[in-house]
Amino acid sequence: MLVNATRMLLKARDGHYGVPQFNINDLEWTKSVLLACEEMKSPVILGVSEGAGKYMTGFKTVAAMVKAMDESLGITVPVALHLDHGTYEGAKACIAAGFTSIMFDGSHYGIDENVAKTKELVEMAHDHGLSIEAEVGSIGGVEDGVVGAGEIADPAECAKITALGVDFLAAGIGNIHGIYPANWKGLDFDALDRIHQATNNIPLVLHGGTGIPDEMVKKAITLGVAKVNINTECQLVFAEATRKYIEAGKDQQGKGYDPRKLLAPGAEAIQKLCCEKIKMFGCDGKA
C-alpha cells in the first residue's frame, strides 16, 4: 500500500535503523526495488528526481505505474512515493499527481526564502496527507544537473526549518551525490550531532548514500539518521551487469536481444543490492 513516509521514519528513528530511499528511473528499477523490499519485509521510499519524472513522461505516469505495480505485485510492505530534490513547482505537481511524499530542496536559496517556500509547501503537503522533507546546507556533487558544493548545514538554520513542521530533514554533513573523490574527508559526525541536538529529534536524512563506508552509515544512524538515500550505486550495478551480458555476447545468442532478457541481469543486480543495503541499514523485517 502507498503511504506517506512519516510513520515509517518515526519508527526507524525510535528503533535506531534506517529506511532506504532507492531512486527509481523506469519500470525495471521500480519492480526490482519493490521485489527486494517485499522479500526483506522492509518499508521503502521510492525516490523520483525531477529528471527521472520527466524521463518517465511525467509525475502522473510515475504515480499511476507505482500504484498499479504495488497492487499487481501484491506488495504488502509500506511504500512511499517521494519527490527527490523537488523545486517549488515540482513539489506542487507531485501533490497533484498523487505522490505520497515530497522533498522541497530550497537549500540553494537564502535561509529566509527557503523558510518561506518550505512553510507554504508544508501546509500544502499536510493538507493532502503527504509527508515533506526539507533541506538545509546543500549536498555536494551533481544530481540531475543540480550542482551542490557540499556544505555543512548550520544547526540554527536547521532548527528554523524544522520548526515549520517538516517531517524529516536533509542536512549537509559533508555528504556528496555520486561517487566520492579519493580525498573525501568522510562524514562530519560532530556536525551531525549538533544538528540532531538542535532539531528536536526530527528524523534526519543521509543523502549521497553511494560509496559511504558501511561503518559510517551505521554510525550516522545512531546519531539520528532515519533515512538513507541510494541512487548512483543502483545505476552502477545495473550498468555493470548489462555490460557483462553484452560483452559475453549473450544478446546475440538465441533471442538474447529481447529486452526482457537483455535488461534482466541489471534488474537482478539492483534487487540484490537493495537487499544488501536493507540488511546493512537494519531495516529488514521492519515492515
Residue numbers at the binding site for ligand 13P (CB under 6 A): 23, 47, 84-85, 143, 177-178, 207-210, 229-233
**C-beta of 25 vs 231, nearer to ligand 13P:** 231
Alpha carbon distance 233, 175 (integer Å): 15
Rounded to the nearest whole angstrom, what is the least distance from the CB of residue 113 to ligand 13P in the complex? 21
Q: Is 84 a catalytic residue?
A: yes
Question: From the candidates 70, 84, 105, 167, which is the catalytic residue?
Answer: 84
Distances (CA, A) of 216 to 181, 219, 276: 16, 5, 16
Of residues 42 and 210, the one with the C-beta less far from ligand 13P:
210
170 within 8 A of 205, measured Cβ to Cβ: yes
- What is the Cα–Cα distance from 47 to 13, expressed in whole angstroms? 19
Question: Closer CB to ligand 13P, residue 207 or residue 286?
Answer: 207
Residue with cell 525531477: 50
CB of 252 to ligand 13P, least distance (A): 32
- Compare residues 50 and 154 and give the one whose CB is closer to ligand 13P: 50
Give the residue numbers annotated as catalytic, written as ranges.
Answer: 84
